[in-house]
A and B are shown apart, each in its own frame.
Chain A
Amino acid sequence: MSGASTDAFIYGVGSSNFGKQPTTSVYELAWQACQEAFADAGTDRFDAAFVGTALGALGIAQRLLKGLGVVDGPIITVENACASGTTAYHEAYEAIRHGRYNKVLALGVEQMSTRIGGAMPPDPIDPEGRSGIVMLPRYAMMAQRYMAEYGVPMEDIAYVAVKNSHNGALNKRAQRARELTLDEVLGSRLVADPLTLFQSCSISDGAAAAVLGAGRDNPRDIAIKSSALVPGGLWDYRTDRLLGSEIIEHAAQAAFELAGCTIDDIDVLEVHDAFTIGEVIAIEALGLADPGAGPELGLSGQTAIGGRVPVNPSGGLLSRGHPLGATGLAQVAEIVWQLRGEANGRQVEDASLGLVETAGGGVSGIDGTGCVVTILSRS
């Protein structure tokens, strides 16, 4: 959008632990994330709050924030499937950029374990959902198609889970904080050919928050170089592109153009690895690797912590778990910690420019509900 003039910054971030926590209330999860973010930002008063949640009920944002008693302005709940949290963040960013608000809270939250046992339930008003289809079989079909198109073996795609589990084992807030071998990943239960259990993210509970504001000359603040939110186009018989590929590419193009940089400038990334193939699709769509060459980037160590361009140093969704609305802001928090040098035990050396990508899915016939790509920089 043109006409904006205010630079936007992240003052502070916070996050609850992620994992199945049915005995921790959704309030507690949100309060933990908010109080950490407020302390980190040095402020607990806001002009507005944007709250991302995919499954939250009527008034959920107001219920969560009531206890904190800190919001004096409008409270706006946004839903964008898996990208709900990053969409809340994006709207907070746009509000500051356009001068509508000076200081905004972005919160993502989801409690799934108390309402979902086993896999995500399908949506009965969706044509494919009514047929018992959720993201798992969709990603499985993308993996099959990818392997057939590029001749890449399953173990090369599965290696994403090995790399991310190594990182996740260094992340105390992660749900699946254990390093996995390739044999363990491939030998875990087959859930939808060719994907195995450890190539799939977990149902999870969690919250993450970021405080955004206009410039205040604080060297700890992280500059938002750009953020782009794009909708998914029709996905149908006309395309052989994998689901998620074009929407991520479009969001990345918009974010890079606005930031005035390219993928070659990025030092560290958090991308949407809901399934192993998801990270492969994402890094290729972002331009890190040519089509078909994404898995090789992981196998050669280039996307590991200490590699040329680390991807998902937090352990990603595969390790952290995927409480839908919370995920995007957890990704933002990780990049903020990385850029400040505060990512204890999993720090990427000398990272000055970072990227977050979150892609929402679950609506049949489109390339995603929405995708956010944001580029963050040390001040």
Chain B
Amino acid sequence: MESPIDPRPRLAISNGDWVLVGARCPQCEYRLAAMGPWCPICHSSLDAKEYGPAGIVWASTVLRVPIGDYRPPRPVAYVDLDDGPRILCHLEGEEDAVPVGPGTRVELTGLSQQGDPMAKVTA
């Protein structure tokens, strides 16, 4: 049985924008995509912190083979949210998707039907 606990980054709407509900260390300012037991760098208690919606692509690819329940083509990217953590996002894209280059500006657009963080190119 698949765990009912979803480990993926949690997104929410804040002031009309999709944001990541992550965490931040008040001592060393380390940024996390999700709450943890404490800061993995300095072991201080963490604060909840929202990040996004804007960010920049660190790298991306388009998956051309099925993986698990996911069907191709499937554009995905590591996105560095502005002043935030790096998270894995699925990208809004068409059937003829080509990979988005590093440095491309994107923003969070919500969750996919399968519950994955989604982003789209903004510039």
Q: Which A residues form the contact surface with B (CB < 8 A)?
A: 118-122, 124-134, 136-137, 140-142, 144-145, 148-149, 189-195, 234, 236-237, 240, 364-365
Q: Are B76 and A137 in contact (CB under 8 A)?
A: yes
Q: Are A136 and B84 in contact (CB under 8 A)?
A: no
Q: How far in angstroms is the closest Cβ of chain A from B98? A: 7
Cβ-defined partner of B99 (8 Å) among A129, A136, A193, A365: A193
What bracket does the count of chain B residues touching chain A fall in? 35 or more
Cα A129 to Cα B6 in complex, Å, equals 11
Q: List 19 A-B contacts (CB under 8 A).
A: A124-B7, A125-B3, A131-B76, A131-B116, A132-B69, A137-B61, A141-B59, A141-B60, A141-B77, A141-B78, A144-B101, A148-B101, A148-B102, A148-B103, A189-B64, A192-B64, A195-B61, A236-B85, A236-B86
What does DSSP make chain A's interface, helix, strand, loop or mixed? Answer: loop
Interface 1/0 per residue, B93-123 and A, CB below 8 Å: 0000011011100000000001011000000
Cα A195 to Cα B84 in complex, Å, equals 29
Q: Are B98 and A193 in contact (CB under 8 A)?
A: yes
Q: Are A192 and B90 in contact (CB under 8 A)?
A: no
Cβ-defined partner of A191 (8 Å) among B8, B64, B84, B101: B64
Q: Are A192 and B65 in contact (CB under 8 A)?
A: yes
Q: Are A127 and B34 in contact (CB under 8 A)?
A: yes
* Set of chain B residues within 8 Å of A140, measured between Cβ atoms: 61, 63
Closest 3 CB pairs of A and B: A132-B70, A141-B59, A140-B61
* Set of chain B residues within 8 Å of A240, measured between Cβ atoms: 58
Provided the pairs A130-B6, A132-B68 are in contact, do residues A144 and B59 lie with their beta carbons within 8 angstroms? yes
Q: B84's closest neighbor in chain A, by CB? A: A237
Q: How far in angstroms is the closest Cβ of chain A from B21? A: 13
Cα A295 to Cα B88 in complex, Å, equals 28
Q: A200's closest neighbor in chain B, by CB? A: B65
Q: Which B residues form the contact surface with A (CB < 8 A)?
A: 2-3, 6-9, 31, 33-34, 40-41, 58-70, 74, 76-78, 80-81, 84-86, 88, 90, 98-99, 101-103, 114, 116-117
Provided the pairs A119-B67, A148-B102 are in contact, do residues A126 and B7 lie with their beta carbons within 8 angstroms? yes
* Set of chain B residues within 8 Å of A121, measured between Cβ atoms: 67-68
Q: Are B64 and A193 in contact (CB under 8 A)?
A: yes
Q: Are A118 and B7 in contact (CB under 8 A)?
A: no
* Set of chain A residues within 8 Å of B58, measured between Cβ atoms: 141, 145, 240
* Set of chain A residues within 8 Å of B60, measured between Cβ atoms: 141, 144
Cα A190 to Cα B66 in complex, Å, equals 12
Cα A83 to Cα B98 in complex, Å, equals 33
Provided the pairs A131-B90, A192-B62, A237-B31 are in contact, do residues A122 and B67 lie with their beta carbons within 8 angstroms? yes
Q: Are A127 and B9 in contact (CB under 8 A)?
A: yes
* Set of chain A residues within 8 Å of B68, measured between Cβ atoms: 121-122, 132
Q: How far in angstroms is the closest Cβ of chain A from B10? A: 10
Cα A19 to Cα B58 in complex, Å, equals 35
Q: How far in angstroms is the closest Cβ of chain A from B117? A: 8
Cα A194 to Cα B80 in complex, Å, equals 21
* Set of chain A residues within 8 Å of B67, measured between Cβ atoms: 119-122, 132-134, 136-137
Q: Are A118 and B76 in contact (CB under 8 A)?
A: no
Provided the pairs A141-B59, A193-B61 are in contact, do residues A127 and B8 lie with their beta carbons within 8 angstroms? yes
Provided the pairs A145-B58, A192-B61, A193-B61 are in contact, do residues A130 and B7 lie with their beta carbons within 8 angstroms? yes
* Set of chain A residues within 8 Å of B64, measured between Cβ atoms: 189-193
Q: A132's closest neighbor in chain B, by CB? A: B70
Q: Are B6 and A132 in contact (CB under 8 A)?
A: no
Provided the pairs A148-B102, A193-B99 are in contact, do residues A130 and B8 lie with their beta carbons within 8 angstroms? yes
Cα A118 to Cα B71 in complex, Å, equals 13
Inter-chain pairs besides A120-B67, A237-B31, A237-B80, 18 sampled, C-beta below 8 Å: A124-B2, A124-B3, A126-B7, A127-B8, A127-B33, A134-B67, A137-B61, A140-B61, A141-B60, A141-B61, A141-B76, A144-B102, A148-B101, A191-B64, A193-B61, A237-B84, A237-B86, A364-B88
